[in-house]
Amino acid sequence: KKPLLEFLMVECVFIVFVVMAQAVIIRAREVREHLEQLTKSEQELMVERAISDKLLKIDALTGLYNHKTFHEYLVSLLEQCESNGLRLQLALFDIDNFKRVNDTYGHWVGDLVLKEVAAKVGGLIGLNDFAARYGGEEFAVIFTDKSIHEAYAAAEELRLKIAAMEHPYAGGKPITVSIGLCDYQLGDGKEKLFRKTDHALYAAKHSGKNAVVTASAAHDDDNILSYA
């Protein structure tokens, strides 16, 4: 009887041990699954936040940065100009005779033109440069770490490559842009930088369009009011 009793006790202990071990394994699995779910939820939340943040910064039609983000970035860069001597040029440009495109072929064609021009701009600028849709058919590019001559060459390349694009749905006629370019001068600040660049764009428009005009060249034109 005694060996039988001992055997039953050992069996009972073994069964209890097995049951406890299974409970521990099940609990560990539940904890692991819970942690995995939490991690997945956090990752999904991060992705959603990233997408939401991007949507707030990107222009929905063109995929370039929007007006608000452009100004935030420019303010930050101008601080770097003043404190660290960062070189910066601002280019403002818009599509020549864009209203005629909309009126002749419809707004959906106008939107296609905007998308294609934006894609060309985004594909041509450097890694340290910044492109945005400034509003309507107007775009802005911030060139950094370039001389004014290098920035002018980059703006001229933009003008030429855009003019060379084909638009069969818009009558096959070339779409051109006029560009005003300004080299930032220390102490000017954002407002004066914009006045100078806008002035250069005005000069480009009134000199026959499809041109790049620098703020210094516009200033030298006696027929245009100087902002200096």
Active site positions, annotated: 137
- How many angstroms separate the CA atoms of 139 and 117, rounded? 10
Strands (E), 35-116: 88-95
Number of Cβ within 10 Å of residue 184's Cβ equals 27
Reduced to 3 states, what is the DSSP secondary structure of residue 58?
A: strand
- DSSP per-residue codes, 152-216: HHHHHHHHHHHHT---GGGTTPPP-EEEEEEE--TT-HHHHHHHHHHHHHHHHHHTTSS-EEEHH
Output the CA–CA distances (angstroms, integers) from residue 117 to 18, 91, 177, in the order listed. 71, 15, 9
